[in-house]
Amino acid sequence: DPEIGLDYGGAHVIEDLIKGEEVELVAEAYGTDCYPLKHVETLITLDKLNQAIMVNPRNCYQNYAVAVNSTDETLYTYMGTLLPNYGNVTYSSAGELSPLINDPHFQTIGFGTRVFLCGTEGYIVGEGTQHSTEVERKHGVPTTSAGTLMLKGDMKKMNPEFLRAATMPNYGPTLYVGVGIPIPILDEDIAASTGISDEEITCKIVDYGVPRRERPVVKETNYKELKSGKIEIEGVEVPTSPLSSLKKARIIAEELKKLIEKSEFLLTSPIYRLPSRGYTLRPLEIRKPSILVRELESKPVIVTRPDENIKDVARKLVENNINHIPVVDEKGVLQGIVTSWDIADAVAKGKTSLRDVMTRRVIIAREDEPVEVVARRIDKYDISGLPIVDSNNKVKGIITAEDISRLVGKKMGRGGESI
């Protein structure tokens, strides 16, 4: 919950411990005969712990989506802050330096492979969660998220230079983990794979403005374009920025190289290779699907034009017992919105032109959005309703807080299904 505060989370606890700082520990339990205490408070450091083993269930994505936002509102995501109307592009990969890109079929990577993890030795303990192999490939490399790693390492030996806690604004804490994986050149195929360039690594720009699991692809690009700092979307030059550090990736690669050359880091053969085929990502089935905006029962929408007289608009509000009227052009395309409060304020101030009263920057709902997403938007912007538009921005209806309240009431009466 952003209202509670996001500046300090589990990632920060891990970083503080590795930096040698004390962390306050508060524990509560119900109490038993053999462990009667119900409340304990103490301070801990890594030195006071018998073991401190980091096990990361998902690391080192083999490629990933590039994020952009087509909506009129700023979005706060795990891919960083996405500005409205394709205002910026974010990505997270070292591209041609990324280990799973350099060994795309896991010929040298698997269970038991020794890796550089946060400044010390770590090990691959298997494929990571969401590991997937049955994906589109170009130049032998996945064009979207595919393989992942599960890693294990001793926190007591880690270096804070290669581990950092962070907070994604209005989203939550995250942990930056530095990983380096040695890839021995055993044959021509591996040599060819490790020679791949940023220009040959295709990735997809995905619209995070669409609140669905399957988000639309805006276009394909490559890491050469992304690392240039700008990319063209719909004829407009858009700035790009990485969430991961290419500078730190190069430092890790050089550090691992030096350790290997000094025989301080020995390579290990995997006990078994990571699965390179037969794995398909299966999203969790939702037994109670959300209701979409288009499925709501709604009355015919009442609209107005920008040049309509304020008194006539006030009459529409009263006669139809409504509090919101979308403002549209002659083709029905949304231009703005006015509320009963806007009209009352205009009358009190002697205004007669609707253009001077209407809100032009309108928060909208799409027909294919879940109602619960719209409810969050109403709460986020402290508004009481918003127009429903289609893909051409034509007004199809209006959804209000009252509509959602009635829907919630009906669902609670049926056993509390998802809205």
What letter would DSSP give residue 353?
Answer: B
The DSSP code sequence of 82-127 is E-TTT--EEE---GGG-HHHHSTT-SS-EET-EEEETTEEEEEEEE
Domain 293-413 -> CATH class: alpha beta
How much of the chain exceeds pLDDT 70, in percent? Answer: 96
At 3 the pLDDT is 55
The average confidence (pLDDT) of the chain is 91
Query: Which parts of the chain have pLDDT scores under 50?
Result: 415-416
Residues 6+ apart with CB under 8 A from 34: none
Question: Which is nearest to 301 in space by CA: 174, 394, 177, 378?
Answer: 394
Question: pTM score, two decimals?
Answer: 0.81
What letter would DSSP give residue 275?
Answer: P
- Catalytic residue ranges: 34
At 291 the pLDDT is 84
At 416 the pLDDT is 47
> pLDDT tens for residues 381-398?
888 889 999 888 899 989
At 88 the pLDDT is 98
* Rounded CA Rg of the chain: 27
At 137 the pLDDT is 96
For the chain, the domains span 52-273, 293-413
Number of Cβ atoms within 10 Å of the Cβ of 318 = 10
Q: Which amino acid is at 296?
A: L
At 419 the pLDDT is 54
At 47 the pLDDT is 95
At 380 the pLDDT is 85
Count, in order, helices (H) and strands (E) of the chain.
9, 26
At 369 the pLDDT is 86
